[in-house]
Amino acid sequence: MGTWHEYFKAEGTPPEWPYPIKFGEESEYETDVVVLGGGIAGCWAAISAARSGAKVAMFEKGDVRRSGAGGPGCDHWCNVPGNPLSRVEPDDWAIQEMNSLGDFSNGIGIQIQCREDYDTLLEMEQMGGKIRDDKDEFVGVEGRDPETKLMFSPRYSVDGSLAPAEGWGKPGFNPPEKRNNTVIRIWGSTFKPILKRECKKLGVNIIERTMATRILNENGRQGARVVGATGINARTGEFIIVKAKAAIIATSGSGFVYYFDSEHGGISTMYSRNQTGDGTVMAWKAGAKLTMMECSGASRFSGGLRHKWYTGGGDASYENVPLVDANNKRLPAPIQGWEDGGAMFSPQARIIAQIREGVKHGEYKLPFYGDFAAMKPEEAHATWDLMLNEESTTKVMVKTMTEGGFDKYSDQIMNYTLIEMQPSQQYRDAGSGGGIMTDWDLMTNVEGLFAAGMSTYSPGDHSYAAATGRYAGRKAAAYAKRVEQGEISREEIDREKKRVLAPTKRCGGIEWKELNVGVNRVMQYFASEFKNEEMLNLALEEIARIEENAVPQLFALDPHKLMRSLECLSIIEYAKIALNAMKERRLSSPKLRIERQDYPDADPEELKNYLALHLENDEIVFERIPIRFWGNMKEQYEAHNQDYTGVYKG
Amino acid sequence: MGTWHDYLKAAGTPPEWPYPIKYGEETEVETDVLVLGGGIAGCWAAISAARNGVKVALFEKGDVRRSGAGGPGCDHWCNVPANPLSRVDPDEWAIEMINALGDYSNGIGIEIQCREDYDTLLEMEQMGGKIRDDKDEFVGAEGRDPETKLMFSPRYGAKAGYGAHPDWRKPGFNPPEKRNNVVIRIWGSTFKPILKRECKKLGVQIFDRVMATSLLNENGKQGARVVGATGINGRTGEFIIARAKATIIATAGSGQLWNIDMEHGGYSYMYSRNENGDGSVMAFKAGATITMREGSHPFGIASGLKHKWYTGGGDASYENVPIVDANNVKLDLVTQGWADAGAMNSPDLLQAVRDGVESGKFELPMFGDFAGMKPEESNATWNLMLNEESTTKIMVKTMTEGGFDHTRDQIMNYSFIEMQSPPQYYDAPRGGGILHDWNLKTTLDGLYAAGTAVFSPEDHSFAASTGRYAGRKAAAYAKTVELGEVCREQIAKEKERVLAPAMRSEGIEWKELHNGLCRVMQYYVSQYKTERLYNLALEEIARIEENAVPQLYALDPHKLMRSLETLSAIESAKIIIYAQKERKLSSPKLGINRLDYPEPDEEELKKYLLMHLENDEVVFERIPIRFWGNMKEQYEAHNQDYTGVYKG
Amino acid sequence: MADKVFALPNVQTPSVPVKINPDKCIGCNTCVETCQIDVFIPNPKKGAPPIILHAEECWYCGCCATDCPTPGAMEFNWPLPLKPRWRNKETGVVSQLK
């Protein structure tokens, strides 16, 4: 019961749209700080700005209660060297982490995370989030501290990397007394509803089911100070205008640029359809600098064409679960466990190739399994009932499998690493690592425009989003206190409103999925495994044709499909930015995940620079900014945060 | 305009189902010869049976006018060594062909094709099909005979088979005076409507929009004589029972068992969804012996995840069009042209180009260089070959209207930039099918097979000539027997099975079920195969049958047909797994790769693996390859009464 | 009625294998009969253009457009990911079907 077809069968007519249709209508709000995106970064930004005394409004495509990639939960609170049991110093750890991530990491973000992540976690606890094993459910589990009842994860316990460290798997490797203790296991599925409750308590004006569509510059001039943002309600179609002194971009994703498939397994990528990189595109159009947009690596995870992320036993973070072959023979793969210092399997091409050879020669027999049954019961319990039960979309896997008879003490989960479709070279992650550039205040080059979480370049994970969101909120609030409301341009708003509503004026033509897949085909053909100047030009020409011929046919039958359609327009912009960056980077480099046939080598000088790009009068301006432009991380952080007061005192 | 949503918007309500719903109702028909499938083989079978003086009925899922893989058209009439300009003898050519095709080819079918293909073509012309350049549109094109105005194709010009001739790069290779002249270019888009017209003229009782669902055995006993078949109307849901003295299976396809994807590019495979392999499943369930079901190979052409077959300039049979790189450097590839005597590219040729791309020798993208051809040749390729071949006619039309000029332009080619099929996307062989004797009779009395339904079939003209042959043989048989007894219980059971999805309005629809099956095949029956993985696959399919199939629902008769096709696909998948399990070897010849039996077993490879059902249990047998004996002698012994081209 | 917004599932993809010109189409339903996979159904209103019902089953054989007896009534429409491309050899300009 419950399907659309059943309703139709019973009623003889399709259901009417259940929300009032308000195409053309407007609501206007005024605030100090507007936050775009209500995920982990957005919520923390809103809370921290409000706690700093600013009036806050927040756009969110879904409902803040469970929205965003972190809405369902999170199991790891990473890079928290400020915790009392850490064996590393936060500033040193930030440098180590940045070094291990390579030249194109985000030193500002990492420094913020390392300095403030533990404070952020304690604030999460203050609000009611569960961060300790206070009910003693996991006594005996490795990494559990009996006093604080904090539970440490094997991740980063040996060094700041997800690659296996020298000597892994050998006896005496990674002894408890030497571990870094920089990652804490948490009950992340409790967090998001609490964050929403806190936002409401603080009077944040939460504008839900609303997609932000544009950042407003003062007097409509690209690159000028930010004075607000517009949005569209995906249930009613109402157009929303928010006047604000500062804006924080806290959106995420760059998904669906190279591939999209909702037929085989629904949209089971790492992100939901809502995470389509709109924020990056909005910042771009407002004149903000982006970088790393030239990167695109072959996609590793998921997609509806493959098994759902995680449910394939050991594909991702099955912490500590040994992988075995069909005869229960252990595979020589790291498992993110204690014995390998939390190293990951799936990015290790050499190890995967070695196992593949073993399969071909009969050394290992397919299929493989995640061997829960072989683990110490305490460890299986912690992995199943804490890590998987708290991490993003795996909670429902734990629930349904447990109800369906899976027993973590006696069973093994099938693993699809080799028997599953290897992703095609043509399926890639656009702008992997690409995003918005900021200064030490997390402010972009556009005055009043801040960025946090996944929307910044080379971002980290959940706790990175939380810490940078919290930081951006504080800084944006401080900025908002210093300035007056700026002048919005009615002309700019009218133009945006017209753009946004255009698909609703048509009821035939091209719908959003076909447009999405059409853009994907361009990227697959001309900007994937083989790239050269001519191919990239062809791609740009073809996207221009799509904009000329297909976009004017885009139609949306209701406000929801309108949002999906507008996301496709973001995807088109995202693709163009990526293509232009790829063209400008005349090199091949695994570090940057770019390969060009016409420039098979890399100029070492060029590789010492970020490629930044932004719009001036709608023309692209490229700049090279030296790597590690942020200076001495400790000094810079301290210079910018003399007023930082630590954990919120209410 | 024209979409369902437009209608709803305008009318305020979805359209009602436009055809009368007749779930549960029955039509019963009695005939001499029943043909299942109204494509090329089916039409020819029906026409030939009717011309032999028997009453004929025909089931067709679509409308016979344009149905089947050959409905839109066909450009090559292959293996027609009996034509007056041929330089080879039909019987010798048949032997050469089976040698080229390898050990598992169909000697009976090839001999029939080589002997009767030209007669079949002349009959096509008699009915009104265009087989000559009578309007002199292609004067100057190579291979055109000015007298007969027949147009020969480069295919098989120097030897049988698609592999490149060892001498193909040498000057003077494949000179006109030495060519075999065994393949004729034809105007195949004119054929199908003519075949339907002829069927009607001959009084064939055509059941359009009817999917055959099962064969009826005498008294309902598996393996007994076939006495008819059942069908379901894909528009009304009416159940059809046909009683017949003889039945000819002329269905096609082997179904998409490893991947279906409609979201990206519709159902743009080489076959339409209708060509789903239901026929061999039906035959198998009735107890007929099938063979060659163990082969499978990585998915080659198209699918919605890639570009449409053909429109990628040079992916398939862009006859004679040289492929060039972005700088107009000609690639070292064969082009199915005169220069290479119609050869198709092999993996090593393609890999060499790919290496060239990686080393910078060739620059992407590639193009099919129509503009680099002699104008007469590009005219023949564009306006005859592509304009007449299956689904490419619409490409020619839309591209021409869109400004493409075959004397000036080049078509983009995706061979090297397009997604290589992932190793988990496999394809069931066209080679698997129904075993038959020299009368094209199967192992069951009263059951014949033709076209793509037989094992190791060939293409359009193979379908035509074997259909024509099977029609003749089935008619002769029908004249010697009475109608057999159908079993009411078997019919009632089938009717219940067929209508079950229509009785539910919720659960799992056909696409999800089909995708679920594909996932099983991708995981356990693709790149890596072992006994254990096969067993897991079979267990998983059993679970699908237990848990998902009882939830299968269909909102209307059309979706009911699609649902039943998915049930066929499940049976096809099981058959393939049974066969692969039984063949404990690996062999590229046979298209089977097993990790647990990595070596070929030479003795085993000298045999066909046959399988059939007895009391619903699979029984395996082996018979030697080339079991058909001396082809010339056997053909002649079985066709002493053959009278050649129809004389009206 | 025309402005009523229904709650409908997403439009199937791709959705428009052919474009029908309602001013020229005479509703003869030749395409309905020609299509081997029943992409179309006849319009309940006699003489009105047919309705594209099972768009995503289209295999792009083009017979409907080829056999349409009324010039200009039906235009074949490749879905966005399948539109053919070509290059003018002399100018090097790459074109793609609209």
pLDDT tens digit string along B324-345? 999 999 999 998 899 999 998 8
Query: In this complex, which chains have at least 3 CB pairs below 8 Å with chain C?
Result: A, B
Assign A486 to helix, strand or coil.
coil
Flag whether pLDDT at B318 surpasses 90: no
Q: Residue C14: is the preceding peptide bond cis (ω within 30°)?
A: yes
Q: Which residues of A touch B559 (CB under 8 A)?
A: none
Q: Does the CB of B264 have a partner CB in chain A at under 8 Å?
A: yes
CB contact under 8 A, C84 and B4: no
Q: Which residues of B436-457 are buried (b: 16+ CB within 10 A; e: fewer)?
A: bebbbbbbbbbbbbbbbbbbbb
Q: First CA to last CA across chain A, in angstroms? A: 48
Does residue B313 surpass a pLDDT of 80? no
Interface of A with C (CB under 8 A): 4, 14-18, 21, 262, 508-515, 517-518, 520-521, 538, 541-542, 545-546, 549-550, 557-558, 561, 564
Residue A219 region, left (φ>0) first, then alpha (ψ -120 to 50), else beta? Answer: left
Q: Do B63 and C34 touch (CB under 8 A)?
A: yes
How much of chain B, in percent, has pLDDT values that exceed 70?
97
Give the model confidence (pLDDT) of B614-637 as tens digits: 999 999 999 999 999 999 999 999
Q: Is B333 left (phi over 0), alpha (psi -120 to 50) or beta?
A: beta
- Start-to-end CA distance of chain B, whole Å, equals 47
Q: Are residues A516 and A392 in the same domain?
A: no
**Among candidates B274, B389, A514, B268, which has minimal Cα distance to C58?**
B268
Choosing from A415, A436, A463, the residue where a domain stops is: A415
* Residue of chain C nearest A518, judged by CA positions: C81
| CB atoms inside a 10 Å sphere around CB A225 | 19
C15 touches chain A (CB under 8 A): yes
As beta bridge partners, residue B246 has B33
Once rounded to an integer, what is the mean pLDDT over residues A555-578? 96
Contacts of B528 (CB under 8 A, 6+ apart): A359, A366, A418, A419, B595
List of residues 6+ apart from C97 with CB closer than 8 A: B398, B399, B402, C78, C83, C84, C85
Bridge partner residues of B502 (DSSP): none
Cβ burial of B355 (10 Å; 0-12, 13-18, 19+) is exposed
Residues A518 and A404 in one domain: no
The range of the structural domain enclosing residue A328 comes to: 323-335+348-415
CB contact (8 A) between residue B262 and residue A359: no
**One-letter amino acid of A234:** A
Nearest to B104 by CA among B552, B574, B461, B626: B626
- Average per-residue pLDDT for chain B: 93
Instruction: For residue B283, give Cα distances in angstroms to B357, B501, B573.
Output: 48, 22, 15
Interatomic CA distance for residues A24 and B634, integer angstroms: 80
**Structural domain includes residue A155:** yes
Q: For residue A535, which residues of chain B lie inside 8 Å, CB to CB?
A: 364-365, 417
Smallest Cα–Cα separation from A633: which of A104, A113, A41, A87?
A: A113
Instruction: Looking at the structure, tell me whether residues A394 and A495 fall in a common domain.
Output: no
Q: Give pLDDT tens digits for A210-261.
A: 999 999 999 999 999 999 999 999 999 999 999 999 999 999 887 789 888 8
Confidence grade of residue C14 (pLDDT, cut at 50, 70, 90): confident
**Closest CA of chain A from B264, distance in Å:** 6
Residue with tokens 């779930």: B23
pLDDT at B312: 53
Cβ–Cβ gap A261/B263 under 8 Å:
yes
- Say if residue B207's pLDDT is above 80: yes
Check CB contact of B14 with chain A, cutoff 8 Å: yes
The answer to whether position A212 is within a domain reads no
Cβ neighbours of C10 in A, within 8 Å:
262, 511-513, 561, 564
Q: What is the CA radius of gyration of chain B?
A: 24
Cβ atoms within 10 Å, residue A347:
12
Same domain? A409 vs A512:
no
Residue A305 has pLDDT above 90, yes or no: no
- The whole-number average pLDDT for the span B460-487 is 98
Q: Would you call A15 and C79 a contact, using CB atoms and an 8 Å cutoff?
A: no
Residue B383 touches partner A, C-beta closer than 8 Å: no
Q: Which letter, b or e, does each residue of B385-396 get, where b requires 16 or more Cβ atoms within 10 Å of its Cβ?
A: bbbbbbbbbbbb
As a whole-number percent, the residues of chain B with pLDDT over 90 amount to 82
Structure tokens at B555: 């909102």
* Cα-based torsion angle of the residue sequence B521, B524, B525, B526 in order, rounded to the nearest 10 degrees: 90
- Give residue B271's pLDDT band: very low, low, confident or very high (50, 70, 90): confident
Out of C4, C38, C82, closest to residue B558 by CB:
C38
Residue B322, pLDDT > 70, answer yes
Domain tally, chain A: 3
- Smallest Cβ–Cβ distance between B5 and the set A507, A529, A534 belongs to A507
Nearest to C91 by CA among B328, B329, B318, A548: B328
Question: Considering the domain boundaries, does residue A204 fall inside one?
Answer: no
Residue A207 lies in a domain: no
- When pLDDT is averaged across residues B204-213 and rounded to a whole number, the result is 98
Find the mean pLDDT for residues A500-508. 93
A 10 A CB-CB count for B325 gives: 21
Query: Nearest CA to CA, how far is C94 from chain B (Å)?
Result: 9
Q: Is the pLDDT of residue C2 over 50?
A: no
Whether the Cβ atoms of residue B412 and residue C87 lie closer than 8 Å to each other: yes
- With CB atoms and an 8 Å threshold, state whether C61 touches B66: yes
In order of their start, the domains of chain C are 18-96 (3.30.70.20)
Q: Where do runs of H (alpha helix) occur along B203-291?
A: 278-286
Q: Rounded to whole angstroms, how far apart are CA atoms B339 and B347? A: 19
**pLDDT given for residue A591 in this prediction:** 87
- Please tell me the distance from the alpha carbon of residue A34 to that of residue A306, in angstroms, as a whole number: 38
- Interchain CB distance below 8 Å, A530 and B530: no
Q: Which helix (H) or strand (E) holds B212?
A: strand B210-217
- A409, A398, A335: which is closest to A368 by C-alpha? A335
Lowest mean pLDDT among A169-173, B251-255, B356-360, B575-579: B251-255
In a domain, A262, yes or no: no
Q: Is pLDDT of A552 > 50?
A: yes
Among A332-336, B465-469, B498-502, the minimum mean pLDDT is found in A332-336
Question: Above 90 in pLDDT, residue B428?
Answer: no
The pLDDT assigned to C1 comes to 36
CATH code for the domain of A520? 1.20.58.100
Nearest to B265 among C53, C67, C79 (CB): C79
- Say which of A14, A511, A517 has its CB closest to residue C7: A14
State phi, psi for A421 to the nearest 5 degrees.
-45, 125
In chain C, whose CA is at the least distance from the CA of B559? C54
Closest CA to A310 of A593, A73, A38: A73
Q: What is the token pair recorded at B533?
A: 């993985």
Q: Which residues of B204-213 are buried (b: 16+ CB within 10 A; e: fewer)?
A: bbbbbbbbbb
pLDDT for A319 equals: 78
Neighbours of A352 (CB within 10 A): 17
Max CA-CA distance within chain B?
71
Which residues of chain B make contact with C84, given a CB cutoff of 8 A? 311, 313, 395, 398-399, 404, 411-412
Size of interface A-C (CB pairs under 8 A): 69
User: Angle at CA B423, nearest 5°, toward B419 and B429?
Assistant: 100
Are both A172 and A84 inside the same structural domain?
yes
Q: Residue A550 falls within a domain, yes or no? A: yes
Name chain A contacts of B536, Cβ cutoff 8 Å.
367
* Alpha helix positions (H), A442-488: 462-482
pLDDT in tens, B330-383: 999 998 899 999 998 888 898 899 899 989 899 999 999 999 999 999 999 999
Is A601 part of a structural domain of the chain?
yes
- The C-alpha atoms of residue B289 and residue B621 are separated, in whole angstroms, by 9
**Same domain assignment for residues A497 and A382:** no
Judge contact between A93 and A78, C-beta under 8 A: no
Domain shared by A506 and A390, yes or no: no
Residues of C in contact with B235 (CB under 8 A): 38
Q: How many helices (H) and strands (E) does chain A have?
A: 16, 19
Cβ within 8 Å, pair A13-B13: yes
A4 chain-C contacts, CB cut-off 8 A = 7-9
Residue A458 belongs to some domain of the structure: no
> With 90 as the cut, is the pLDDT of residue B309 above it?
no
Contact (Cβ atoms closer than 8 angstroms) between residue B186 and residue B77? yes
- Residue B414 at interface with chain A, using a CB cutoff of 8 Å: yes
